[in-house]
Each structure stands twice: as structure tokens, then as C-alpha cells.
């Protein structure tokens, strides 16, 4: 059996380390503050935002949620972001994606002050990442590196393959692995013979969004596998196929009407990998922990502590 890289454990460690930093900021006069802008009523986004606010409450971080209507315009969103940029007690501004069609998401993300950009999506902070300069890093990629470090997974000198080239996961995690001195290959939907490229990986990061696509033929024996995928399966037949008719998983499916699966076939990973992240409970919990970490760091920078 591979070593299980437990994201909930790492999340709790990160949160515990943040608590004294939040207390130190509060003792100087003000706890860190995070503002989340949530447009409309997308159920997935509502759950994410609720969890982010809950994490703030647990840590003593001040938070507020702004909820403009689904019909909000780009100009109105720009006004909201500008007001948050100007407010002293707000250290982090997060615009929950996706935004409705009529809103120009790129203009909104560009409007967030780079020093309050706790998602690490602003081009200034993407530039800081590329140049290896300090600044907030995208949360999911930063969480992946934190997890690999805390489990003592060697990155320097190892071959890393990242499947997926999105701006929020694939590209930043590839750059972070490069900064850790891994030899990095980025793959995508046009990569020929993907299984043979993946089989070269000592560290394989799957950020694709396709349920259980990474099967045994993609995995080098003993590799570390980081499964970023979060795919909700609502076909019982597919769930039965992916989970090899597991009674537990099918009972869970029957209860909820769906089941969560990563981008990696869990049984093939269990057979071939040396270490792997489970889904759920692997990468997922780290994203919010790193958002909290970015918010605290932004508050410290603004307070002149670091």
C-alpha cells in the first residue's frame, strides 16, 4: 500500500501554526481581515465561501462576504473591488469564481490590489512567482508543495510531471516544483503519448478534471502521486466501475446520489504508487489553509512585521 498523504492533517498543522501569528497581529491592534465577493447563487461557490468564512472564524480572522446580485455589471464589480482595496481593515480580497458571463473576470482580477490578492492570481503576483520573488502564491499549488515538504518527499533532482496547464493549478504548481529544483514537464490535452511521459515521473501531479483518467499505465512504480481532481460522479454505473463495486462507496453513492473521485484511478494508484493523496482528504483541505496563510502573511506585510 502507498503512503497516504493526509491533507486534513497538514491543514490542521498549518492552521495551528497560524493561530499565534493571528493573535500577535490582534495584540498589535487588529486581526487580519478577509473580504470575499460572492456573486449569485452557484451552489458550489456558496459551499466554498462558507468553508472559507468558517476557517476565518476558527482562526480569529475578521471576514465579511459581499453578495452582489447575479445581474451585477463589470463596472459595479470594479467599484466593489476598489472600495475593498481602499479599506484599511481588509488585508485580503477574494473574488469567488466563476463570475457571471456579463462580467469581465480578467478586468476584475486585475483590479484587486496585488498586495491584497490572497488568491495569487494577479499578473503582478504571477510575475513574482515566475521570478521567485516574495508574494502570495496560488493556494492549491502552494498547498501541494507544503504537503510534499511536510511529508519529506524529495523534489530536488526528481522528475515531476504536471498534467494540466491551467492558470490556477497546472502552471503555478509546475513553477513551484521548478523552484524546488525538480525537473518539470507540463502536459495538456495535446500532449502525444501522455502515459509514457507520465511514467517518467517520480512526482506526478494530476490537475485535469477527468474522473480516474490516470490509470496504471501512467504510473511509474513507487511514484508520488498528487491528485488535484475533484470530479462528482452521478452515474451509479460509472461509480461502480471506478470503485470496483466497493460496497462502501456504492452505499455512499446511494445515500447522496453522487460520489467524489479524483483524476487518478484510486485502485491503480494503491497498487503502483509509493505515496499518494486521497480524494477526498488530500489536496482539497489544503487550499483553504493556504488562503488563510496568504491572508495572515498579507496582514503581516501591511503591518510591517515582515
Binds ligand NAP (CB under 6 A): choice among 41, 188, 232, 256: 188
Q: Interface residues for ligand NAP in 97-156 (CB under 6 A)? A: 140
Query: Does the protein bind ligand NAP through residue 209 (CB under 6 A)?
Result: yes
Query: Does the protein bind ligand NAP through residue 175 (CB under 6 A)?
Result: no
Cβ pair 1, 276 in contact under 8 A: no
Q: Who contacts 33 (Cβ-Cβ below 8 Å, separation ≥6)?
A: 61, 62, 63, 64, 89, 90, 91, 92, 295, 299
Sign of CA dihedral 272, 167, 299, 76: negative
Query: Does the protein bind ligand NAP through residue 283 (CB under 6 A)?
Result: yes
Binds ligand NAP (CB under 6 A): choice among 31, 81, 207, 219: 207
Least distance to ligand NAP from the beta carbon of 302, Å?
A: 26
Of 15, 93, 95, nearest to 60 by C-alpha is 15
Query: Does the protein bind ligand NAP through residue 37 (CB under 6 A)?
Result: no
Distance, in Å, from the CA atom of 78 to the CA atom of 134, rounded to the nearest integer, reads 26
Stretch binding ligand NAP (CB under 6 A), from 34-42, 109-117, 205-213, 237-245: 205-213
Query: Does the protein bind ligand NAP through residue 228 (CB under 6 A)?
Result: yes
Of 109, 162, 115, nearest to 135 by C-alpha is 115
Least distance to ligand NAP from the beta carbon of 213, Å?
A: 6
Binds ligand NAP (CB under 6 A): choice among 57, 83, 102, 189: 189
State the catalytic residues.
52, 96, 119
Q: Is the preceding omega at residue 7 within 30 degrees of 0, hence cis?
A: no
Binds ligand NAP (CB under 6 A): choice among 210, 240, 258, 274: 210
Stretch binding ligand NAP (CB under 6 A), from 23-31, 80-88, 172-180, 181-189: 181-189
- Alpha-carbon dihedral of residues 203, 233, 138, 194, nearest 10 degrees? 40
Stretch binding ligand NAP (CB under 6 A), from 24-32, 68-76, 227-235, 296-304: 227-235
Strands (E), the chain: 3-4, 33-37, 62-66, 92-95, 159-163, 183-187, 203-206, 224-227, 231-233, 259-261, 275-276
Binding stretches for ligand NAP (CB under 6 A) = 140, 163-166, 168-170, 187-191, 194, 207-210, 228-231, 283-284, 287
Amino acid at each position: 500500500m502507498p503512503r497516504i498523504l493526509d491533507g486534513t492533517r497538514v491543514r490542521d498543522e498549518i492552521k495551528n501554526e497560524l493561530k499565534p501569528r493571528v493573535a500577535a497581529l490582534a495584540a498589535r491592534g487588529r486581526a487580519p481581515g478577509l473580504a470575499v465577493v460572492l456573486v449569485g447563487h452557484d451552489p458550489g461557490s456558496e459551499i466554498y465561501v462558507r468553508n472559507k468564512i468558517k476557517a476565518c472564524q476558527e482562526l480569529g480572522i475578521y471576514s465579511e462576504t459581499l453578495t452582489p446580485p447575479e445581474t451585477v455589471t463589470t463596472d459595479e464589480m470594479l467599484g466593489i473591488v476598489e472600495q475593498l482595496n481602499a479599506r484599511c481593515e481588509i488585508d485580503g480580497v477574494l473574488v469567488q469564481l466563476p463570475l457571471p458571463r456579463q462580467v469581465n473576470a480578467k478586468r476584475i482580477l486585475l483590479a484587486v490590489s496585488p498586495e491584497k490578492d490572497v488568491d495569487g492570481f494577479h499578473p503582478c503576483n504571477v510575475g513574482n512567482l515566475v521570478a521567485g520573488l516574495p508574494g502570495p502564491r496560488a493556494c492549491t499549488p502552494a498547498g501541494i508543495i507544503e504537503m510534499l515538504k511536510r511529508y519529506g518527499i524529495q523534489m530536488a533532482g526528481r522528475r515531476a510531471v504536471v498534467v494540466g496547464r491551467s492558470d490556477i493549478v497546472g502552471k503555478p504548481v509546475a513553477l513551484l516544483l521548478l523552484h524546488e529544483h525538480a525537473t518539470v514537464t507540463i502536459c495538456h490535452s495535446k500532449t502525444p503519448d501522455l502515459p509514457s511521459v507520465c511514467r517518467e515521473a517520480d512526482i506526478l501531479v494530476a490537475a485535469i478534471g477527468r474522473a480516474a483518467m490516470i490509470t496504471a499505465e501512467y504510473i511509474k512504480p513507487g511514484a508520488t502521486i498528487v491528485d488535484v481532481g475533484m470530479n462528482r460522479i452521478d452515474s451509479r454505473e460509472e461509480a461502480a466501475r471506478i470503485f470496483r463495486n466497493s460496497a462502501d462507496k456504492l452505499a455512499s453513492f446511494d445515500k447522496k446520489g453522487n460520489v467524489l473521485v479524483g483524476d487518478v484511478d484510486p485502485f491503480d494508484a494503491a497498487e503502483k504508487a509509493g505515496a499518494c493523496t486521497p480524494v477526498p482528504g488530500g489536496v482539497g483541505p489544503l487550499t483553504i489553509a493556504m488562503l488563510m496563510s496568504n491572508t495572515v502573511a498579507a496582514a503581516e506585510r501591511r503591518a510591517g512585521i515582515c
